[in-house]
Amino acid sequence: MAKRVLMVLTSHDVMGLSGKRTGNWFDEVATPYYTFKERGFEVVLASPRGGPAPLDPLSLDEAFLTDGTRRFDADPVAQRALARTLPLNEVHYRDFHAAFFPGGYGQLWDLASNSLAIKIAEELIARESPVAFVCHGTAVLRDTKKPNGEPLVKGRRVTGFTDAEDDELDLSRHLLFSVERMLIANGGNYIRSKANWEANVVEDGALITGQNPASAGPIAQVLANRLSDGTRRETR
């Protein structure tokens, strides 16, 4: 039986009161999608509202397009999956072997406070099923808890989009919160790359986090390897 990966996307497409359009970062959806499909996994896309999942317009700029995004654009099956995401409350998440949370700024507004997204992360990690968050997908870790009520990231090695990277895009002032400061405030051992925009993937038990768009491909490979060989990295 094929391993099943649940990809949880944002439904939110406006960046707070700024009026700036946002959504899911295209390559953080497209490249992992094909990484999982090519390894023989079943991939299901879901979002809080279901239906079309918005893409951040900035991620559609030529500078951010990749082989994965171009392939996705030309793939009617992938396009249909993005246009018809399942409502999150209709997903039987306990039937999945792993979950993947792509980034994008919309995640700060809906997934970070979505009780079902939080529950999915908590339950899968508690049973040692791998869950990966990349870039602003780590926003979901704001309110996730351990069984004892402590923040899930407390004492664990984590990463996520840095304040410096937000500053480079001149978007920090528009954001609901900083994922870097949130992870640190929740007691996480925050690990960032030496330079902005360098790929950085951090593993701590079933929790896998990636820093930025450059980390999308590498973190998807890490998750795929976990599912393929059944190994688990010890929590440190």
**pLDDT number for residue 50:** 98
| Mean model confidence pLDDT for the chain | 94
- pTM metric for this prediction: 0.95
225, two tokens: 């390897």
Percent of the chain with pLDDT over 70: 97
pLDDT tens for 91-137 read 999 999 999 999 999 999 999 999 999 999 999 999 999 999 999 99
**pLDDT number for residue 85:** 98
Set out the domains of the chain in order of their start, with CATH numbers. 4-229 (3.40.50.880)
Averaged over 50-59, what is the pLDDT? 97
Judge whether residue 233 has pLDDT over 80: no
**pLDDT number for residue 230:** 65
**pLDDT number for residue 100:** 98
Does residue 223 or residue 172 have the better pLDDT? 223
Q: Which of 97-111, 120-134, 163-177, 208-222 has the lowest mean pLDDT?
A: 163-177
Count how many residues are written for the chain.
236
